[in-house]
Amino acid sequence: MPRVVVDVVLKPEISDPQGQAVLGALGRLGHGGVSSVRQGKHFVLEVEGTPDPAELRQIAETLLANPVIEDVELHLVPEAQD
């Protein structure tokens, strides 16, 4: 069954305290090379039949993400291995 992966992250201009907390911890743990962390959400949708990109984009932009504060990225995973 085809899968669609939707990644949602806060827009760059919206502060992300969770990501900042992780970044701070990384620094204290000696991983000074990481310069930014943004925490987000990862959705995996399994779709019957052929996915309709327009419909999926609508789902992503109107429900899975809040366009006021979040950016969204869609990835189609052609045919899952199982």
Partner 1 sequence: MSAVVDTVTRAGQTPEEAQPWAELGLREEEYARIREILGRRPTTAELAMYSVMWSEHCSYKSSKVHLRTFGDLPHSEALLVGMGENAGVVDVGDGYAVTFKVESHNHPSYIEPYQGAATGVGGIVRDILTMGARPVAVMDSLRFGRADAPDTARVLPGVVAGVGGYGNCLGLPNIGGELLFDDCYAGNPLVNALCVGVMRHSDVRLAKAEGVGNKVVLFGARTGGDGIGGVSVLASETFDATGPATRPAVQVGDPFTEKLLIEACLEIFAADLVTGIQDLGGAGLSCATSELAAAGSGGMHVDLDTVPLRDSTLTAAEILMSESQERMCAIVEPAKVEAFLAVCARWDVLATVIGEVTDGTRLTVDWHGEQIVDVPPRTVALDGPVYHRPMARPADLDALQADLPPITSTDLRADWLAVVGSPDGADKSWVTEQYDRYVQGNTVLAQPEDAGVVRIDESSHRGIALALDGNARFARLDPYVGAQLNLAEAYRNVAVSGAVPLAVTNCLNFGSPEEPEVMWQFAEAVRGLADGCRALGLPVTGGNVSLYNQTGDVPINPTPVIGVLGVHADVRTRVSGGWQAAGETLLLLGETRPEFAGSAWASVVHGHLGGLPPQLDLAAEQALGGLLATLAAGGLVGSAHDLSDGGLAQALTESALRYGVGATVTVAGDPTAALFSESVARAVVSTSDAAAVLAAAREAGVPVTELGTTGGEALVVEGVLELPLAELHTTWSTTLPALFDTPEAVTGTRPAGAVPTGAVPTS
Partner 2 sequence: MRIGVITFPGSLDDVDAARAVRLAGGEAVALWHADDDLAGVDAVVLPGGFSYGDYLRAGAIAARAPMMRTVVAQARQGLPVLGICNGFQVLCEAGLLPGALTRNSHLHFRNRDQGLLVERADTAWTSSYEQGQTIVVPVKNGEGRYVGSDADLDALEGEGRVVVRYVGGNPNGSSRDIAGVTSADGRVVGLMPHPEHAVEVLTGPSVDGLGFFTSVLTGLVAA
| 40 burial type by CB count under 10 A (0-12 exposed, 13-18 middle, 19+ buried) | middle
Residue 15 makes contact with partner 2 by CB under 8 A: yes
Cα–Cα distance, 53 to 58 (Å, whole number) = 9
Minimum CB separation from partner 1 for residue 23, in Å?
9
Residue 44 makes contact with partner 2 by CB under 8 A: no
Minimum CB separation from partner 1 for residue 18, in Å?
8
CB distance 61 to 67 below 8 Å? yes
Where along the sequence are the contacts to partner 2 (CB under 8 A)? 10, 13-15, 17-18, 21, 63-64, 66, 68-69
